[in-house]
């Protein structure tokens, strides 16, 4: 393609697509920078490691993306993760026949929380920030009561084995799940009536309502999806862990917001998508690993992360306030 054709193509892209491409370029640059001194072998290994580290966040951030697209926010994801995690460990009792019921219950926990959030936001018209904040507190209290502060339990061996499966010898289960879910939701958002409604409700809920759409059902659905995806992530993350941790969910609420926002799903509502979130999730985890490589301590991650996010979002919001 000639330069002219390319520039025409570029101009015809939506702002969001431009943002995602920009983000992808930044990701690639970071990738190159971090591997400039390593051999091909290490680079590949590192890349797959990055994928593995990012998968949990990636799955959770999908749900967050959907919620933010409708103009909301989901602050309880971290608690869902921790709750489901300690519940699974606490209830499995090293019994393989319990795997399926326990996992299904875990998903049900996420779904119920999502339903609760969705009803509060859609029917009771409570601001999503507050509603999900409340759920966060409630869940936090509930899992602390459940564990009495000391999470314990034994996972069934076969459950943990699932966590060790490597597809094609390299790729862990969680990455496969992430890829599948990402593709699924990119498709849903771009090509289905449901996806169109998610975008439209965030862009102009009033116009959507006056077009004959039942907004409430869509809103409830996105919170349920968000809850379910968080439970799913918790289950898969748990497969890989030997001991329970009350801190598992700790940063996920905020990180998933950061991943979605980095990926171009800003708080204007209706604009954004999962494809950006995928790259966003990768970048956030990449920052951590970069800092580890550069021997900067944990706290450095926060500083660098915040500067990068702010910088990139500033780039997205490319017009100056008059």
CB of 174 to other proteins, least distance (A): 25
CB of 193 to other proteins, least distance (A): 5
Distance between CA atoms of residues 222 and 195, nearest Å:
10
- Of the candidates 199, 222, 233, 219, the residue with the CA atom closest to the CA atom of residue 63: 222
- Backbone φ and ψ of 270, nearest 5°: 90, -15
CB of 173 to other proteins, least distance (A): 28
Q: Which residues are CB-neighbours of 165 under 8 A, at least 6 positions away?
A: 172, 173
- Give me 283's structure tokens: 């970048």
- Give me 5's structure tokens: 């054709």
CB of 32 to other proteins, least distance (A): 25
- Of the candidates 4, 167, 141, 15, the residue with the CA atom closest to the CA atom of residue 83: 141
Nearer to other proteins, 20 or 155 (CB): 20
Nearer to other proteins, 221 or 239 (CB): 221
Nearer to other proteins, 26 or 239 (CB): 26
Distance between CA atoms of residues 136 and 139, nearest Å:
5
8 A C-beta contact, residue 65 and residue 198: no
Nearer to other proteins, 38 or 292 (CB): 292
Nearer to other proteins, 156 or 260 (CB): 260
Residue located via tokens 């968000």: 226
CB of 117 to other proteins, least distance (A): 10
8 A C-beta contact, residue 172 and residue 166: yes
- Backbone φ and ψ of 297, nearest 5°: -70, 170
Using the 8-state DSSP alphabet, how is residue 163 labeled?
T
Nearer to other proteins, 243 or 254 (CB): 254
First to last CA, the chain: 38
Nearer to other proteins, 63 or 270 (CB): 270
CB of 272 to other proteins, least distance (A): 10
CB of 110 to other proteins, least distance (A): 17
């Amino acid at each position: 393609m000639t330069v002219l054709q390319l520039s025409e193509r570029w101009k015809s892209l939506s702002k969001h697509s431009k943002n995602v491409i920009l983000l992808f370029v930044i990701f690639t640059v970071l990738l190159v920078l971090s591997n400039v001194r390593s051999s091909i072998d290490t680079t590949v290994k590192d890349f797959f490691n990055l994928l593995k580290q990012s998968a949990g966040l990636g799955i959770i951030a999908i749900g967050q993306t959907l919620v933010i697209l409708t103009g909301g926010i989901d602050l309880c994801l971290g608690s869902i993760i921790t709750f489901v995690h300690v519940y699974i460990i606490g209830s499995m009792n090293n019994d393989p026949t319990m795997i399926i019921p326990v996992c299904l219950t875990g998903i049900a926990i996420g779904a119920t929380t999502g339903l609760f959030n969705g009803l509060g936001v859609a029917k009771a018209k409570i601001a999503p920030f507050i509603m999900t904040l409340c759920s966060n507190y409630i869940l936090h209290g509930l899992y602390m009561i459940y564990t009495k502060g000391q999470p314990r339990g034994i996972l069934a061996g076969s459950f943990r084995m699932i966590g060790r499966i490597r597809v094609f010898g390299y790729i862990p289960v969680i990455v496969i799940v992430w890829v599948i879910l990402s593709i699924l939701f990119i498709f849903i958002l771009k090509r289905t009536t449901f996806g169109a409604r998610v975008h439209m409700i965030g862009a102009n809920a009033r116009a959507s309502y006056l077009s004959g759409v039942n907004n409430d059902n869509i809103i409830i659905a996105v919170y349920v999806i968000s809850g379910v995806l968080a439970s799913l992530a918790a289950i898969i993350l748990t497969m890989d862990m030997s001991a329970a941790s009350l801190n598992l969910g700790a940063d996920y609420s905020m990180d998933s917001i950061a991943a979605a926002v980095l990926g171009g799903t800003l708080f204007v509502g209706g604009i954004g998508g999962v494809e950006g979130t995928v790259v966003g999730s990768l970048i956030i985890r990449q920052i951590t690993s970069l800092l580890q490589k550069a021997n900067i301590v944990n706290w450095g991650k926060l500083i660098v992360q915040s500067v990068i996010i702010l910088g990139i979002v500033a780039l997205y919001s490319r017009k100056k306030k008059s």
